[in-house]
Each structure stands twice: as structure tokens, then as C-alpha cells.
Amino acid sequence: MRSAMLKIKRIDHVAVAVEDVDAALAKWRDAFGLEPTVREVVASQKTEAVLLPVGESNIELISPKGNEGLAKFLEKRGPGIHHIAIEVEGIEAAIALLESLGVPMIDKTPRKGARGHKVAFVHPKGTGGVLVELVEEDHAHD
């Protein structure tokens, strides 16, 4: 039995890797009528990110702005779903819990993501091939 549980709130976003944010934005707007709420260059991740709200979650379009991993992903696989982000309560505790369960973490401490949120990536080896991002709103920032 697991003694501790992750405090999961929702799927915060599903991220789609794109070459050209404007072209992708036009497609999502024309097809689904989605309008962006946030568009920013995320310096710490070396990406440009656009958020399109879908109910309580978002589609996040991301393109590399110096992020080699993301550039390689696009080169190898072309545009498509890149990762799923799960909003958790207590991201540090969530990382510690996953590590205690032997789940490999890419980030052992949270980094700053889009919207100033705290984020940490779980290695796809730990999830059967899906890159998972943990997200928590950073109440301490700004």
C-alpha cells in the first residue's frame, strides 16, 4: 500500500510542439475558435509558449527559442503532442514522493515555467513513454 499520495488537482495543460507559433495559433483558432490568454518567451526553458484555455485546462503551444531538446523533438518527430502537465499541490513533496517510488525525475528541484509557475519534469521512462510535467502555481512569486 502507498502511504502517501500525490495531491493532483487537474490536467493543467497538454503541450503541443510546433515550429511556428503564429501558424499553429491560426490553425487552432480557425478550427476550434480558441484564443490565447498568455503568450511569452520562457527564458528559463528557452521556449516560446502560448496558452489556449480549454475548459479548466489549456492547450499549450511551444516552440524552441534555443531549447535543444525541443528542437530535436521537432526534427525527429515533427510537430505534435510533447508533454502532459499535471497540476499538483506541493510540488516539492510530489517530487520527493515520486523519487521515493523510484520514478526517474528530470528535475529534482522545481524550475520556473510559463506564467511564473513552478515546474518539474518526470522522465518518460517512469511513465511508459509520456513526458509528464508537474506544475504548481507559485504564490511566492511577484
Distance of CA 100 to the CA centre of its chain: 22
| Only segment of 9-17, 51-59, 71-79, 122-130 that touches Zn ion (CB under 5 A) | 9-17
Q: Does 70 bind Zn ion (CB under 5 A)?
A: no
CB of 15 to Zn ion, least distance (A): 4
Q: Provide the minimum distance between the beta carbon of 13 and Zn ion in the complex, in angstroms, as a whole number.
A: 6
48 binds Zn ion per the rule CB under 5 A: no
Query: Which of 25, 42, 85, 97: binder of Zn ion (CB under 5 A)?
Result: 85
> Taking CB under 5 A as the criterion, which residues in 106-135 touch Zn ion?
133
Scored b (16 or more CB within 10 A) or e, 9-33 reads: eebbbebbbbeebeebbeebeeeee
Rule CB under 5 A: say whether 91 interacts with Zn ion: no
Is residue 52 within the footprint of Zn ion (CB under 5 A)?
no
Query: Sheet holding 118-122: strands in order across?
Result: 38-42, 47-54, 57-64, 8-17, 80-88, 132-136, 118-122, 111-112
Quickly list H helices, 12-56: 21-32
Give the residues lining the site for Zn ion (CB under 5 A): 15, 85, 133
